[in-house]
Amino acid sequence: LESVSRSPVYSHFNETLLGVSVIRAFEEQERFIHQSDLKVDENQKAYYPSIVANRWLAVRLECVGNCIVLFAALFAVISRHSLSAGLVGLSVSYSLQVTTYLNWLV
């Protein structure tokens, strides 16, 4: 849908470039700018839901990653007598990278 609505934007831009001298001669710049804006807006209507869905997913994945970091930190505090400092540092360090990996997987 987005690629179908992108074609009029490209064709209008190409036609405008080819006729730029005529457009300037008849002082029709504003009309062509307005037409271009309308075509770009129509294209963005198709693309906007994709942007919103990606942001929604990114927020949820960030929340999941933060929960994993929280649980790793809580586990480290609860088990502080039985775990070494190096192991706690390693687990918290790896849990901080989970958000990046979750975003990369999707």
Whole-number Å distance between alpha carbons of 92 and 1: 43
Q: What angle do CA 101, 86, 97 make, to 5 degrees?
A: 10
Supply the pLDDT for residue 53.
Answer: 94
pTM of the predicted model as reported, rounded to 2 decimal places: 0.65
State pLDDT tens for residues 43-102.
999 889 989 999 999 999 999 999 999 999 999 999 989 999 999 999 999 999 998 898
Count other C-beta atoms under 10 Å from residue 26's C-beta. Answer: 10
